[in-house]
Amino acid sequence: MTQALLLSLLLVKYVFAYKIIWDNDAQVDLNEIDEEFLNLGDPRMPNLFIYPGENNNMKNLGNQPRITELIENTVSHISEYSWKTSEGKILKLFVCEEEGTKWCGPGNRAKSYDDLGPARRSDFCCRDHDHCPEFIRAGESGFGLNNTGLFIRLHCDCDEAFYNCLKSSKSLTSWQLGNIYFNSRPKSICFKKDYPIISCNSFIKVGLNYRCLDYILDPTNPKKYQWFDHPKY
């Protein structure tokens, strides 16, 4: 396991995890939280969620455990993985499925395409996201790009649709998923074909990293596949 992987996991564990715990400033209208949470208990309880987008055609990477976000407490189906860093420190990673969904977690627990969990609107978003036809698995190459990150990377159209779907769902589950997928990872990017990137006109800070809000492109050269930053959720 590379130093970059260990560092990224440590960042997920110690820097970004707090973002998913209930926040009184969350942009969620509690009056709009409907049946999604009727079967999920108290929405103020801190939970642990796996990031969405590793189901169906996006298979896990060999024998490596899937990368998840660590929160203070957990719900169910918890597993623990441990590694020792070069400094002798023990790094632990906890895995838990998204409660109330069948598509927002490890594997595919849905019996059919139309089989959704109690958190139907969130599950709908994850299901469509899982069926993105264009992706690059972690450690692999495609579309002239190398994915050296920890996560599978999707086409920007799929991630944009996922972003909009979660936003329109207006539920706490969707808000948590959006924060995990778009805000919690140290490097949150997608790929698409566009004119060559020259530079960035404006940035936004997300966690400890800066993301480009406005790219300056070169329309005088042919379009090509490139990495683009995700927007902040």
Reported as a single tens digit per residue, the pLDDT across 20-62 is 333 333 333 333 333 333 333 333 333 333 334 433 333 333 3
Structure tokens at 70: 């660590």
Mean pLDDT in each 10-residue stretch from start to end of the chain (233 residues)?
A: 37 33 34 37 35 37 31 33 43 45 67 74 85 92 92 93 91 84 86 96 87 95 97 90
Provide the 10 A C-beta neighbour count for residue 206. Answer: 21
Residues 52, 193, 121: CA angle, nearest 5 degrees: 25
Q: Return the active site residues.
A: 129, 159
* Rounded-to-integer distance, Cα 199 and Cα 212, Å: 9
Q: What is the pLDDT of residue 145?
A: 97
Half-sphere CA count of 159, side-chain side, radius 13 A: 23
Domains for the chain: give ranges and CATH numbers. 3-187 (1.20.90.10)
Token pair, residue 16, equals 């970004």
| Contacts made by residues 96-101, CB under 8 angstroms, sequence distance 24+ | 96/47, 96/48, 96/49, 96/50, 96/68, 97/50, 98/49, 98/50, 98/52, 98/122, 98/126, 98/173, 98/177, 99/40, 99/47, 99/75, 100/36, 100/37, 100/39, 100/40, 100/173, 101/126, 101/173
Does residue 212 contact residue 202 with C-beta atoms inside 8 Å? Answer: yes
What is the C-alpha to C-alpha distance for residues 216 and 197, in angstroms, rounded to an integer?
A: 6
* pTM, entire model: 0.61
